[in-house]
Amino acid sequence: EPLKPSNFLRQVIERDLEQGTYAQRKWAGHPADAQEHQRGEPDPARIRTRFPPEPNGYLHVGHAKSICLNFGLARDYGGVCHMRFDDTNPEKEDQEYVDSILDAVKWLGYSWDANGTSHYYHASDYFDFMYRAAEYLIEAGLAYVDEQSAEEMRHNRGDFGRPGTDSPFRSRSIDENLQRFRDMRDGKLADGAAVLRAKIDMASPNINMRDPAIYRIRRATHHNTGDKWCIYPMYTYAHPIEDALENITHSLCTLEFEDQRPFYDWLLDRLSEGGLINKPHPRQYEFARLNLTYVITSKRKLKQLVDEKHVTGWDDPRMPTIVGMRRRGYTPESIQLFAERIGVTKSDSWIDYSTLDQALRDDLDPKAARAMAVLDPVKLVITNWDEIHGAGFLDACSAPVHPHDEARGRREFKFGKELWIERTDYEDVPPKGYNRLYPGNRVRLKYGHVIECKGATKDAEGRVTEVQAELVPDTKSGTPGSDKVKVKGVITWVAVADALKAEVRLYDRLFAVPQPDTTEKDFHEELNPDSLTVATAYVEPSLASAKGDEKFQFERHGYFVADRKDHFSTLVSTSERKPVFNRVAGMKDSWGK
Ligand code: ATP
Ligand code: MG
Ligand code: MG
């Protein structure tokens, strides 16, 4: 295992482990912790991170960075990463999303089970505790029920240049606040009629510290707690409590939460003063979110692409969702490698999409079986074949499954009078430096014979319909003396006799501009109209046994995957059943061109 490059988070963790920051940590008393404690194993001192999605959409490549980071750090430092659904929002949260999120995390290669204990949590399980903590804040004079209108509240909060103004409700007595908060809980106030606010400092230069709202009234059925509550905690209040109850040590979030950190610390300090949570507290650390060129990662806008049918679904291979990337053919290992290479930083930047493709190539090159495929086929006829071998003769050829691993065996295929070659491998008049087929030139058909081009037949529009060539005798690859005839060009091919017809989906970038959705322009106008080209290709017979999701290197063309859904799909009629391959990435970077 190569040494992972250090970064500021690794440094923080290493320092905490060295200094024993969490050595004196007590169990939070959370049910799952108690279970772990009973088993007498993992001590609470080890690091704990968490991945806390809201189950309100499909995960994307940005989430993948967060997953690799949180689960990866826990793994590397012998800690635990909690899988937590941040479901404090009663608004539509779907089981479909929950399932797909769990699936994505597992597929990426991570687990929330450690030493036989599951670390799978729902923030909504802490609603009782959060309520109790809110009453504690009121009793300590640290929170009040504000009944200003939303507009008044917004105005009185001030802005960057203007300090806020105290609410007339700020000086209410503790008893009155407690009564009003219970009225909120008991459904005696209308939605939006009041909020509970932390009492901090209306003149703070950090607007987040100007008495942030911590509870609101919202009559909505929650998927976990049903109609038990008509008040719900705000994210900024809920999140530090969730972290504290789960004994999280390092709470990693994206940079836009930096201004929330003072409130995170303020709240946990107050709650431990009140004896509600233990020390040492979890600490929040911010890292730059992932911006990947040629894609967008806004959940709302990705949903628009699906709803408006610009793509075929959440798992369309062009989508930057984890299900999309999976179907496109990216491997969990390539995504982990990508996450490691981009690292974590404290400032926002754009990561070039080619970084992801390079990670894919580096992962697949040593693994993927090779195959020949002709994506834009034109027929090649060997005019002296019958003369040399007799009509109908098929020669047997073979090639290694993997060029660096003979143990993986060989692929077998035929060579005959009629072959499929790439249309671009023939030119009447060769451009400078062109070593492939043109009248009079000799090339090697890879793993086959050397041929000499004689010309081509064209249709009325001048399009080549057939290329003719003569076999150069005694040049079959792998036979003695076969390399005596020197040629500059080598081309790929498949025999008409045993090639398999396949649908090949050539995917390109989803957006035509490197930083979509960053200008005034509507992002729809920035979509790449040519993000998908469907080709009818001929591929070598060894691919007849390809399983859905299996990856290959099509020689010269790049990395391809048998489509998880459509490859030999049994959902269509037998006559329509066919091999379907997606292009994951080309052989080398062509994104910049
Ligand atoms: P929403 O916009 O609906 O709040 P979100 O993108 O913040 O969605 P969450 O489900 O809240 O998604 O995210 C779960 C975790 O993934 C969070 O910790 C968040 O910081 C992280 N995350 C989301 N987007 C990115 C990104 N582009 N880069 C890195 N981390 C991300
Ligand atoms: Mg969020
Ligand atoms: Mg977001």
DSSP string for 122-178 = EGGGGHHHHHHHHHHHHHTT-EEEE-S-HHHHHHHT-BTTB-----TTTT--HHHHH
* Class (C level, CATH) for 373-491: mainly beta
Element (H, E) at 307: helix 299-307
User: pLDDT class for 592, splitting at 50, 70, 90?
Assistant: very low
Separation CA 68–CA 353 (nearest Å): 18
Evaluate if residue 31 carries a pLDDT over 70. no
Question: Does residue 56 have its Cβ closer than 6 Å to ligand 1?
Answer: yes
pLDDT digits (tens, 9 = 90+) for 102-112: 999 999 999 99
C-alpha 286 – ligand 2 centre gap (Å): 14
Q: DSSP E strands: which ranges in 10-53?
A: 48-51
Which ligand 1 atom minimizes the distance to the CA of 257? 20
Domain boundaries, the chain: 8-124+236-287, 128-235, 288-370+500-593, 373-491
Pick 537 or 348 by higher pLDDT. Answer: 537
* Residue tagged active-site, from 54, 135, 176, 470: 54
Residue 451, burial from CB neighbour count under 10 angstroms (0-12, 13-18, 19+): buried
pLDDT average, residue stretch 397-410: 97
- Give yes or no: 289 in active site: yes
Query: Is the minimum distance from the CB of 355 to ligand 1 under 6 angstroms?
Result: no
Q: Are 178 and 222 in contact (CB under 8 A)?
A: no
pLDDT digits (tens, 9 = 90+) for 300-312: 999 999 999 999 9
Q: What is the pLDDT of residues 495-509, one digit of tens each?
A: 999 999 999 999 999
Give the torsion through C-alpha atoms of 432, 434, 439, 441, to 10 deg: 120
From 58, 59, 66, 234, mutation site for ligand 1 pocket: most ligand atoms within 8 A of C-beta: 66
What's the pLDDT tens digit per position in 328-355?
999 999 999 999 999 999 998 899 999 9
Residue nearest to atom 18 of ligand 1 (CA): 253
Give catalytic status of residue 503 as yes or no: no
Q: Among 61, 399, 85, which residue's Cα sits nearest to residue 223? A: 85
Residue 268 Cα to ligand 3 midpoint, Å, equals 24
Residue 234 Cα to ligand 3 midpoint, Å, equals 16
- Describe the chain by its helix, strand, coil percentages, rounded to 5: 30, 25, 45
Q: What's the ipTM?
A: 0.94
Ligand 1, atom 23, lies closest to the CA of 63
- Report the pLDDT averaged over residues 370-388: 98
For ligand 1, whether the C-beta of 558 sits within 6 Å is: no
**Annotated binding residues for ATP, as ranges?**
54-56, 254, 289-290
Domain 288-370+500-593: CATH superfamily, name plus number: Glutamyl-trna Synthetase; Domain 2 (1.10.1160.10)
What is the identity of the amino acid at 585? A
Given this model, what pLDDT does residue 30 score?
Answer: 72
Give the mean model confidence (pLDDT) for residues 403-421: 97
Q: What is the pLDDT of residue 590?
A: 61
Tokens at 346, concatenated? 């404290």
Top-confidence residue, 460 or 482: 460
- On the question of pLDDT at 97 being above 50, the answer is yes
Across the range 45-60, mean pLDDT stands at 92
Most distant CA pair in the chain, distance:
107
Question: CB-side exposure of 551: number of CA atoms within 13 Å?
Answer: 21
What tens digit of pLDDT does each residue of 123-170 get? 999 999 999 999 999 999 999 999 999 999 999 999 988 999 999 999
Over residues 221-241, the mean pLDDT reads: 95
Q: Which atom of ligand 1 is nearest to the CA of 55?
A: 10
462: which 2 tokens? 């001048």
CA of 231 from ligand 1 middle (Å) equals 24
Contacts of 39 (CB under 8 A, 6+ apart): 115, 116, 117
User: Within 10 A of 460 (CB to CB), how many other CB atoms are there?
Assistant: 5
pLDDT of residue 375: 98
Q: How far is CA 68 from CA 50, 110, 158, 310, 341, in A?
A: 11, 8, 39, 29, 11
Whether 106 is a known active-site residue: answer: no
Radius of gyration of the chain from its Cα atoms, rounded to whole angstroms: 31
CA atoms within 13 A on the CB side of 257: 20
Rounded-to-10 torsion of CA 147, 152, 154, 159: -130
pLDDT at position 591: 47
User: What token pair was written down for 447?
Assistant: 């793993």
Which atom of ligand 1 sits closest to the CA of residue 297?
27
Please report where in the chains the tokens 């500059």 appear, as a residue.
488
Least confident residue range of 86-100, 367-381, 489-503: 86-100
Report pLDDT for 5.
82
Task: Assign domain 8-124+236-287 to its CATH superfamily.
Answer: HUPs (3.40.50.620)
pLDDT at 593 over 50: no
Report the pLDDT value the prediction gives residue 206, as an integer from 0 to 100: 96
The residue to mutate among 63, 86, 102, 255, having the most atoms of ligand 1 within 8 angstroms of its beta carbon, is 63
**Residue-averaged pLDDT of the chain:** 94
pLDDT of 466 > 80? The answer is yes
Q: Is the CB of 254 under 6 A from ligand 1?
A: yes
With left for phi above 0 and alpha for psi between -120 and 50, is residue 127 left, alpha or beta?
Answer: alpha
Q: Bridge-partner residues for 42, per DSSP?
A: none
What pLDDT shows up at residue 42? Answer: 55
CATH number (3.20.20.10, 3.40.50.2300, 3.40.630.30, 3.90.800.10) of 128-235 reads 3.90.800.10
Query: Which residues neighbour 88 within 8 Å (Cβ) at sequence distance 6 or greater?
Result: 123, 124, 127, 232, 233, 234, 235, 238
* Amino acid 121: pLDDT: 93
- Tell me if 242 sits within 8 A of 54, measured CB to CB: no
CA dist 114 and 100 (Å) reads: 21
The residue type at 212: P
Token duo for residue 224: 């976990």
Whether 243 has a pLDDT exceeding 60, the answer reads yes
Provide CB contacts within 8 A for 90, sequence distance 6+: 218, 220, 221, 222, 223, 229, 232
* Binding site members for L-glutamine: 86, 235
Residue 183: name the closest of 167, 194, 168 by CA. Answer: 194
